[in-house]
Amino acid sequence: MSGPPAVEVEIAAALDGERVDRVVAMLTGLSRAVAAALVDAGGVLLDGTVVPARSQRVATGQVLVVHDVPEPTIRLPEPDPSVPFGVVFEDEHLLVVDKPAGVVAHPGNGVGGGTLVHGLLARHPGLAGVGEPHRPGIVHRLDRGTSGLLVVALDEATRLDLIDLLATHDVHRRYRALVLGHPNSAGGLVDAPIGRSRRDPTRRAVTHDGKPARTRFRVVATHDGPEPLTQLDCDLETGRTHQIRVHLRSIGHPVVADTVYGGGRCTLGLDRPFLHARELAFTHPRTGEALSFESPLPEDLSAVLARLDPPG
């Protein structure tokens, strides 16, 4: 078998007794037929032993490893002018957009249409040749439920330069979050590696073997009602998937209405996490101009704050 495992996960209680080929299909997003073929080829292991038959049942606590998972075939995105997004800056090299909550950044993971990329292609057809075909121009992303600012490259040289700026932490990205509880300090740094959760590969978690991840936070305001809540500004020093949500949960202050990472017991009427990418600043890689942008809180988040007790 070539390369490292593509998927390694501990079988959760909800999957106890399921056929292994069905579990592989569920965890990888592959079709049942492809999952079965992987089992037949010896590419699936349970507790270090090759699974001999696709009909074998899994048990809670077993460690499932799937090797050589093929990349899913994704239909190349086509222009879709109906996708909503705001434009806060635009020149021949790059675009800074304000993404509304509910819009996925690019196709993948079962999402084939209606993404930000589809909308961007309607505005800039030449974007199709910039970077990876299924996510042209994208150098960083926001979760579906997160609103706010992100930068998009309109040519390949700018794309590579923006990637370098992100890698060297020379892009300022600040988020506003409303979290459960009151932190013990006025600010701090969460420096904890993030990797795929062993119990649910669709989620992320703080793991000893994850990728380095650093989030700085600062208390903006505290509220005592309807329960103890705190507004935080969070600055990303790295950009791991779900980073802010995972890090805030890890310190006991999950994001309000984040049903994936522990904030679902307090939604305040929201149908998405209270998280907004409010500031973005960097040096334009082509012109050298210092660029800085700020996005006001969307109406749904502002309405939540208006209903809270006055800040402490």
Task: Specify the length of the chain in residues.
Answer: 312
Q: Are residues 174 and 261 in the same domain?
A: yes
Q: How far apart are CA 255 and CA 168, in angstroms?
A: 27
> Would you say residue 62 lies in a domain?
yes
**Average pLDDT, stretch 275-298?**
98
Last residue of a domain, one of 167, 189, 208: 167
Would you state the structure tokens that stand for residue 116, as one six-digit string?
């930000």
CATH number, domain with residue 175: 3.30.2350.10
Q: How far apart are CA 95 and CA 85, in angstroms?
A: 12
Q: Are residues 265 and 291 in the same domain?
A: yes
> Would you say residue 71 lies in a domain?
no
User: Does the structure show a pLDDT above 50 at 134?
Assistant: yes
pLDDT score, position 31: 74
Output the DSSP codes for 136-173: TTBSS---TT-EEEEEEESSHHHHHHHHHHHHTT-SEE
**Average pLDDT, stretch 209-234?**
96
User: Does the structure show a pLDDT above 60 at 265?
Assistant: yes
Q: Are residues 181 and 196 in the same domain?
A: yes
Burial 184-196 (b: 16+ CB within 10 A, else e): eeeeeebebbbbb
Band (4; pLDDT cuts 50, 70, 90): very low
What three-state secondary structure class fits 65? Answer: strand
At residue 55's C-alpha, the angle toward residues 52 and 61, to 5°, is 80
Q: Are residues 59 and 81 in the same domain?
A: no
pLDDT score, position 37: 83
Last residue of a domain, one of 66, 92, 117: 66
CATH number, domain with residue 32: 3.10.290.10
User: Does the structure show a pLDDT above 70 at 264?
Assistant: yes
Q: How far apart are CA 236 and CA 275, in angstroms?
A: 13
Q: Are residues 191 and 236 in the same domain?
A: yes
| pLDDT tens column, 155-172 | 999 999 999 999 999 999
DSSP helix, strand, coil percent of the chain (3-state; round to 5): 20, 30, 50
pLDDT score, position 311: 87
| pLDDT tens column, 82-132 | 999 999 999 999 999 999 999 999 887 666 788 999 999 999 999 998 998
Domain that holds residue 135: 76-167
User: Where do we find the tokens 């001999």?
Assistant: 52
Last residue of a domain, one of 125, 152, 167: 167
**Average pLDDT, rounded, for the chain:** 91
Q: Are residues 223 and 131 in the same domain?
A: no
> Would you say residue 1 lies in a domain?
no
> Would you say residue 308 lies in a domain?
yes
At residue 134's C-alpha, the angle toward residues 133 and 135, to 5°, is 95
Which active-site residues does the annotation give? 143
